[in-house]
Amino acid sequence: MPIVSGSGQTQNNHQLNKGVWTESGAPAEAPFNVIGKRVPLKDAYRKVTGEGVYADDMKFPGMLHCRILRATTPHAKIVSIDTSKAEALPGVRAVVTGRDAENRFGVLPVSQDEVAMASDKVIYNGEPVAAVAADTEEIAAEAIWLIDVRYEPLQEFLKPRDSLKDVAPELQLHEKVEKKHPNTNIHKAVDQEFGDVEAAFKEAGAIVSAEFKFDGISHGFTEPHAVIAHWDADDRLQLYTPQQVPHYTHRALAKVLELPMHQIQVIRTMVGGGFGGKSDPFQHEMIAALLSMKTRRPVKVTMDREETFLTGRGRHPTESKLGMAFSKDGKLLALDSDVIIDGGAYGSFGVVSAYYNGVLSNGPYRIPAFRYHGKRIYSNRIPSGAMRGHGSVNPRYCTETLVDMAAVELGIDPCELRMRNFLESNTLTPFHKFRITSNGVREGLAEAMKRSDWKNKWGKLPYGHGIGVGCAWYISGSALPIHWNKLPQSTVHLKIDLDGGIAVHSLAADIGQGSDTVLAQCVAEVLGVDMDRIHVKSTTTDTAPIDLGSYSSRVTFMAGNAARAAAEEIRHKLADAAARLTGQRGEYFDFVNEELVCRSKPDVRVGFMEALHEAQADVGALIASGSYQSPPLGSTFKGSNAGLSPSYSFSAFIAEVKVDPETGFVQPLKVWAAHDCGKALNPLSVEGQIEGSVHMGLGQALSEQLRYRNGQLLNANFLDYKIPTPFDTPEIEVIIVESHDPEGPFGAKECGEGALAPVIPAIGNAIYDAVGVRMFEVPMTPDRILKAIEKKQREGK
Amino acid sequence: MAKQLLKLKVNGRDVVVAVEPYHTLAQVLRNELNLTGTKVGCDMGTCGCCTVHIDGKAKLSCLTLALECQGTSVHTIESLNEYQMHPLQKAFAECGGSQCGYCTPGFIMKSAELLAKNPDPTREEIKAALSGNLCRCTGFMKIYDAVEQAASELRKKDAPQPTPIKV
């Protein structure tokens, strides 16, 4: 039975462990020492003092500054590039163009379709074309305008449906497109059908369907992109970059620069927010490296905010058509969806996005018949990619809206209808065989209903005031690695020397979500030591074992398990040492408050340092390695790997809003956010992740949109791209639902991404409850709401 | 244009620095004086990351030309933890008011101005004061908690008072 707790609840367990232990004797379940405590982030004090070092804060002797020249047209042949005037400008040290590095790269091995800079043609307005390294940023900025690029315009693909058509080969944006549609600009098509969808719709007691449209949105992290490359005196490339995924950048650099990977060190700086927007290997990383190799000097790229928007990788603009069939008593019978997502100029994570937009609709409800046709297209717009809740957010809005419509049609309370259809715990989804372990969605929804006084509000509030619900689920890490190999998905190394400090080496990237802290907690828990002893070294590829990095909400689950495994190895050694010192062979020792306590004779104790020094006799520093690899999961059909995860989180949100029918303006009043994250390893961080997700979801729901005219982004700044301010953000009441996952570290699942998706439909459904209009376009801006209200009034007459 | 001499106090120290007339205060603080705690998130006054105090008033250093600060006294985030951690810094860390940390110096400097003027602000007053600062990570809730915790800490009579920022 999951434990439901509210914001601000703490547990302090200093007593000896009594309960369930792992094989090494470490606690597997509560009571814990540091797990479940509200622990400030390991790097919080560096951040609040300004001591934390981000890429743009770094300086090197002799460092050059780079500016990038970008395409000024969405689609054109490059007829010529003349850099001679730029090269002649005093203070300019090097100029590079696409000819300097033609090897293609991309985050997915199947979509190697990016180049450092465009050389034959440009495919979006903002694409890098050339770059300059100069003594100062001003000189570099002046020099790029001296580069003369001649373009010959090509037909532009700015509307998703244009990309579905057959075109001449020279109008295909990339050489490799979907095999099933070889003459188009379709990047990836996914077609899946399971169960008898047609029959389900025939038998249905209620059918709901609608067409939806979503604008593209951007991550809006506060730190603009920045990178420093340094080709050093040892002929090695040192790349300082705020990467969520240093490992993929490492691979891509090696490919583009034609260097062995060991000749490159990627050093992750502090990351000023990522949300998926810093998880691709990037052109500016390649450009900085090329310029540094050319000049043998450190080269820094710092983008301005507009360039950061243009670099893109945000959530796909989406057009979709969905239908759902229900029985008369409210049992979900079938889901049929047809989705086009606009991938923009590059592949990025898009093959995954194309699958996720369909397969991640197989929860949190049981779907007995499922059909999905999804197409990701290339266009001459800013590249789309992975953004928090990758691939699940827009389809979730659609399904949650349809469930709400069905509830109205069937005369069943929307929460009740959801309760009737939730997946059970410890089950497999019917077709994809997604393994559901623990599932606290029912408890979460019940608690959110109770706290929001749902029963007295839904359908009962005055006109202009409404309440709505949205539920969701999300993967706790993709079980499918991007690169097919036999390596574990996460590896963690520990080293403890004479000083008693515990170095935790991992390439899991702390991007502000607190991954360093969670790894430290896992190690501290197993070894029963203070968090202060633990120093997480997660920045450099020379010393950190490979971890696939911070995406797909995987770090707590996968790197956390690896950290725990490594710590258990050390625990064995320390327990042996304690047994030697005390003569208590064959006894278990509990590790609590820096002491090793004999379980059967609690007065027999050895200090942590004493045990450590005994264990180090003849071997020196203790070292250990732990790793995590997903178990074999899922079905066997082609494409069945997409959406697989060792575990899934669940959420149930309720939102209350006021809508001004005169202006269409929506004021969110409160959000009750129940999220099942398994065991909350650090409730302070869990709340922070959920509150942040709610805030970001509210932005997509109500105000955030990337607006284009003729392929040019119109609102590449924080004034016109409207992220909710404190005044736009209502109170958020977090309800942590703790269901114990059998495989997650100490029972944990994800919480960083899954809590975003349910906000948007909860708001949309609340708007319906308030003013009786269904919103099929997101964001639900005042003009769109007003239009919908006017349409309803016209039709009413 | 030639560089010009700028004389001002930064974090209590007299500083003389030759600056380009078009350089902003943010650029001079970060690039010339190595005070990189002040962050630049948008460079156009929309995010608040670059907030510093000029003669005790919270200002956006990306919208302030360095030469406008001739003869002024500027305080940055680095001034807050001389000798000891400022209660605001402590509270932002303890309450989870900082995730990625990039907006944090700006939020803290803006909050410091608020608490100097209003030692016991309501949540609405905190919201109003911070409405020009953008945080993409926290959803603001834990930032409000931090400001409230710091305010209550600072109101304690026997609490060690931080390095004063005069308003």
Q: Where on the phi/psi map is residue A435: left (φ > 0), alpha (ψ -120 to 50), or beta?
A: beta
The CATH number of the structural domain formed by B4-77 is 3.10.20.30
The whole-angstrom separation of Cα A20 and Cα A419 is: 32
pLDDT digits (tens, 9 = 90+) for A35-76: 999 999 999 999 999 999 999 999 999 999 999 999 999 999
Asked if residue A337 lies in contact with residue A320, where contact means CB atoms within 8 angstroms, the answer is yes
Asked if residue A692 lies in contact with residue B137, where contact means CB atoms within 8 angstroms, the answer is yes
CATH topology of domain B87-155: DNA polymerase; domain 1 (1.10.150)
Q: Report residue A4's pLDDT band, with 50, 70 and 90 as the boundaries.
A: low
From A440-444, A514-518, B152-156, the region with the lowest mean pLDDT: B152-156
For A734-749, what is the HEC assignment?
Answer: EEEEECCCCCCHHHEC
pLDDT digits (tens, 9 = 90+) for B10-55: 999 999 999 999 999 999 999 999 999 999 999 999 999 999 999 9
The minimum CA-CA distance between B139 and chain A, rounded to whole Å, is 4
Residue A147 to residues A83, A136, A637: CA-CA distances in angstroms? 5, 17, 52
Residues in A closer than 8 angstroms to B105, CB to CB, are 48, 50
Helices and strands (H, E) in chain A, number of each type: 18, 32
Q: What integer best gives the mean pLDDT of chain A?
A: 95
Nearest Cα to Cα of residue A766 among A672, A650, A649: A672
Residues in A closer than 8 angstroms to B139, CB to CB, are 688, 691-696, 729, 732
Asked if residue A671 lies in contact with residue A452, where contact means CB atoms within 8 angstroms, the answer is no
The whole-angstrom separation of Cα A598 and Cα B8 is: 64
Secondary structure (3-state) at A189: strand
The whole-angstrom separation of Cα A540 and Cα A696 is: 30
Q: Output the DSSP codes for B79-102.
A: GTTSSS--HHHHHHHHTT--SS-S
Q: Is the peptide bond before A74 cis (omega within 30 degrees of 0)?
A: no
Q: Give the nearest partner residue to B131 out of A43, A723, A727, using CB atoms.
A: A727
The whole-angstrom separation of Cα A449 and Cα A417 is: 13
Is B136–A275 a contact, with Cβ atoms under 8 angstroms apart? yes
pLDDT digits (tens, 9 = 90+) for B82-137: 888 999 999 999 999 999 999 999 999 999 999 999 999 999 999 999 999 999 99
The pLDDT assigned to B83 comes to 82
Share of chain A above pLDDT 90, in %: 94
Find, in chain A, the residue whose alpha carbon is nearest to that of B48: A222
**Above 70 in pLDDT, residue A486?**
yes
The whole-angstrom separation of Cα B153 and Cα B145 is: 12
Find, in chain A, the residue whose alpha carbon is nearest to that of B108: A48
The pLDDT assigned to A5 comes to 57
Asked if residue A771 lies in contact with residue A667, where contact means CB atoms within 8 angstroms, the answer is no
Domain segments of chain B as ranges: 4-77, 87-155
Residues of chain B numbered 86-105 and touching chain A (CB < 8 Å): 88-90, 92-96, 98-105
The pLDDT assigned to A31 comes to 82
**Burial letters A183-213, b for 16+ CB under 10 A, else e:** ebbbbbbbebebbebeebbeebebbbeeebe
Q: Give the nearest partner residue to A304 out of B43, B94, B98, using CB atoms.
A: B43
pLDDT digits (tens, 9 = 90+) for A133-181: 999 999 999 999 999 999 999 999 999 999 999 999 999 999 999 999 9
Is A272–B93 a contact, with Cβ atoms under 8 angstroms apart? no
| Beta pairing, strands A731-738 & A465-475 | unpaired
Is A305–B41 a contact, with Cβ atoms under 8 angstroms apart? yes
Is B127–A726 a contact, with Cβ atoms under 8 angstroms apart? yes
Does any CB of chain A come closer than 8 Å to the CB of residue B47?
A: yes
Does any CB of chain A come closer than 8 Å to the CB of residue B131?
A: yes
How large is the average pLDDT for residues A534-551?
Answer: 97
**Above 80 in pLDDT, residue A493?**
yes
Asked if residue A701 lies in contact with residue A693, where contact means CB atoms within 8 angstroms, the answer is no
Instruction: Report chain A's C-alpha Rg in angstroms.
Output: 27
The whole-angstrom separation of Cα A197 and Cα A191 is: 14
Is A512–B141 a contact, with Cβ atoms under 8 angstroms apart? no
Is A221–B49 a contact, with Cβ atoms under 8 angstroms apart? no
Find, in chain A, the residue whose alpha carbon is nearest to that of B130: A726
Asked if residue A527 lies in contact with residue A567, where contact means CB atoms within 8 angstroms, the answer is yes
**Residue A639 CB burial class (10 angstroms; 0-12, 13-18, ≥19):** middle
Is B134–A222 a contact, with Cβ atoms under 8 angstroms apart? yes
Secondary structure (3-state) at A188: strand
ipTM: 0.96
Candidates B89, B102, B130, B133: best to mutate against A (most CBs of A within 10 A) is B102
Asked if residue B142 lies in contact with residue B107, where contact means CB atoms within 8 angstroms, the answer is no
How many CB atoms within 10 Å of residue B106?
Answer: 30
Q: Output the DSSP codes for A115-172.
A: -SS-SSEE-STT-EEEEEEESSHHHHHHHHTT-EEEEEE-----SGGGGGS---GGG-
How large is the average pLDDT for residues A551-571?
Answer: 97
Is B46–A719 a contact, with Cβ atoms under 8 angstroms apart? yes
| Cross-strand bridge partners of residue A66 | A133, A301
The whole-angstrom separation of Cα A702 and Cα A655 is: 13
Q: Report residue B81's pLDDT band, with 50, 70 and 90 as the boundaries.
A: confident
Find, in chain B, the residue whose alpha carbon is nearest to that of A684: B96
Q: Under 8 Å CB-to-CB from A608, ≥6 apart: which residues?
A: A500, A527, A528, A529, A574, A591, A594, A595, A596
> In the 8-state DSSP scheme, what is residue A558?
I
The pLDDT assigned to A484 comes to 83
**Burial letters A160-182, b for 16+ CB under 10 A, else e:** bebbbeeeeeebbbbeebbeebe
The whole-angstrom separation of Cα A461 and Cα A772 is: 12
Asked if residue A222 lies in contact with residue B100, where contact means CB atoms within 8 angstroms, the answer is yes
**Above 80 in pLDDT, residue A323?**
yes
| Cross-strand bridge partners of residue A77 | A121, A152
Q: Domains in chain A, please, with CATH?
A: 12-41+483-628 (3.30.365.10), 388-480+635-796 (3.30.365.10)
pLDDT digits (tens, 9 = 90+) for A721-758: 999 999 999 999 999 999 999 999 999 999 999 999 99
The whole-angstrom separation of Cα B152 and Cα B134 is: 24
Residues in A closer than 8 angstroms to B1, CB to CB, are none
Does any CB of chain A come closer than 8 Å to the CB of residue B50?
A: no
